[in-house]
Amino acid sequence: MVPSPPINKPHVCLSTTLIMSSMVLMDAYLVEQNQGSRKLGICIMVSVGDICFLVVLRYVAVWVGAEVRTAKRGYAMILWFLYVFVLEIKVYFIYQNYKADRKSLDLMARKALTLLLSICIPALYVLLVATEHMEYVRTFKKKEDLRNRLFWVIVDMLDVLDIQANLWEPQKKGLPIWAEGLMFFYCYILLLVLPCVSLCEISMQGIGIVPHRMMLYPMLSMLTINITTIFIRGSNMVFFRDIRVSGIFMGKNVLAIVLKVCMFVQYRKHLHHAPAGSGAAEPQHTTTSQPQPVIQLLKPQNQTPCPEGLDQENT
């Protein structure tokens, strides 16, 4: 049997601390939004939920810590899906409480919620990818190329969270109920699925990872984030007169579309030219380089002694 890889205990502790601290802070928001006897009931409910979640996390985090030095990220995808699924349910109830109590304009608390999500969610993704533990990626250029790809994933997460945060941050005129629900759950699905796609690409590449071949996430994110969020922000600005639309992220998405299209075109050109150049040259190199040591070893054995040497031996 193949021995199981050792568990990276610091990674397990760090990921567990990050996950549980963000969950506890979400619980604090839920408890503070309720008053009287209802506050006690919410406190008991979220405490029981956190205990059950911690029991499941105890096993999944250990499995993630065992695979962090390998090329697999299967358990990392499970942990990500579990974390975002539970966290966004709590965020939904916090958002509904803020929506029901529009008179409460606690701007700092709402901004703090946005800041908390924009730190915890990308930070967990960076921990799950764990590029610093990829010892099989030996070249510095390849590791930096991989980090650049992951940076785009983080920026896309912040883009999605910016759209979602517009739902609970103070606004003069609210969006229609159907538009708010559609925006929230669309962002919910993106946060669940797209980082898992990125982790799946890393896992499928394996030990011989080649970052420039990871084209599934860039194409999906271009369609579901870069193009779609431009239409979402543009619709909110034109039809609903939403002044909180981020022009910076709209510009970022336009640049991202241009860069990803250029990246895809270069990748297609590389596919057309790579088989003709590399496939024919490498076999010749291997066939000509291997027999040389054998010939050098056999040469002294096949040489016949010269006549001068024979005369010296006879004398």
Encode pLDDT of 62-81 as tens digits. Answer: 999 888 888 788 899 999 99
181 or 286, which is more confident: 181
Across residues 163-173, what is the average pLDDT?
Answer: 80
Across residues 285-292, what is the average pLDDT?
Answer: 40
pLDDT at 288: 39
In this prediction, what percent of the chain has a pLDDT beyond 90? 43
Across residues 32-38, what is the average pLDDT?
Answer: 84
The alpha carbon of 231 is separated from its chain's Cα centroid by a whole number of angstroms, namely 24
To the nearest whole number, what is the mean pLDDT of the chain? 81
pLDDT at 103: 56
Of 189-193, 214-218, 267-271, 273-277, which one has max mean pLDDT?
189-193
Task: Examine the pLDDT at 173 and tell me if it is beyond 90.
Answer: no
Across residues 28-47, what is the average pLDDT?
Answer: 89
Query: Band of the pLDDT at 223, cuts 50, 70, 90?
Result: very high
pTM: 0.80
pLDDT at 77: 94
Comparing 16-20, 129-133, 279-283, 304-308, the range with the smallest average pLDDT is 279-283
Query: Band of the pLDDT at 3, cuts 50, 70, 90?
Result: low
Euclidean distance between CA atoms 96 and 128, whole angstroms: 30
pLDDT at 240: 78
pLDDT at 220: 92
pLDDT at 68: 84
Comparing 7-11, 102-106, 297-301, the range with the smallest average pLDDT is 297-301
Euclidean distance between CA atoms 312 and 315, whole angstroms: 5
On whether the CB atoms of residues 227 and 253 are closer than 8 A, the answer is yes
